[in-house]
Structure 1
């Protein structure tokens, strides 16, 4: 009985995460510049969002930017569908 209690009360080891250095202003400047380049920006957002060697703050920013882009595409598709249906109805 005592052996079972000793096994159940083992201290749990937690992994200490090493704090990441903050993203510098020059790094943010370069990041925003690169994301403004068509096609390259989207590819880099995916790399930064889901890459394993990316600073967590930059990864979270990239995920948020991809989410906003997806929301914008959905709204654009809805608008174009409604506008297209209205124009189709007007011509027929």
Structure 2
């Protein structure tokens, strides 16, 4: 049964992918649409898997950004603290 559902969906055309990428480029709307495509029941399985992968990469990017910001912030604070303790 699951195999029949997957064969009912036609591959997405180049035009479909272009529209998809343009929509995802719109701030906030694109993010919401990723959730709609990833977890919607009427979405082409290829687009649903792509949207899930995009959400995973987005989450990884946020985590790495926070991590690097903390590391950079600690480095700056350490540098500033060392400059205060120096006597000329």
User: Common fold, TM-score beyond 0.5?
Assistant: yes
Q: How many residues align?
A: 78
In the other structure, the counterpart of 1:11 is none
In the other structure, the counterpart of 1:75 is 64
Cα distance in 2 for residues equivalent to 1:55 and 1:85: 45
More helix as a share of residues = 2
Equivalent residue runs for 1:27-38 within 5 Å: 27-38=16-27
Cα distance in 1 for residues equivalent to 2:73 and 2:40: 39
TM-score of the superposition, structure 1-length normalised?
0.79
Q: State the Cα deviation string for residues 54-80 of structure 1 (Å, max 9, x = none).
A: 000000000001111111111111100
In the other structure, the counterpart of 2:4 is 17
Instruction: List, as ranges, runs of 4+ consecutive aligned residues in structure 1 with deviation greater than 3 Å.
Output: none
In the other structure, the counterpart of 2:46 is 57
Output the aligned Cα RMSD: 1.1
Structure 2 residue ranges without an equivalent (≥5): 82-88
In the other structure, the counterpart of 2:86 is none
Indicate the structure (1 or 2) with the bigger Cα radius of gyration. Answer: 1
Cα distance in 1 for residues equivalent to 2:77 and 2:32: 36
TM-score of the superposition, structure 2-length normalised?
0.82
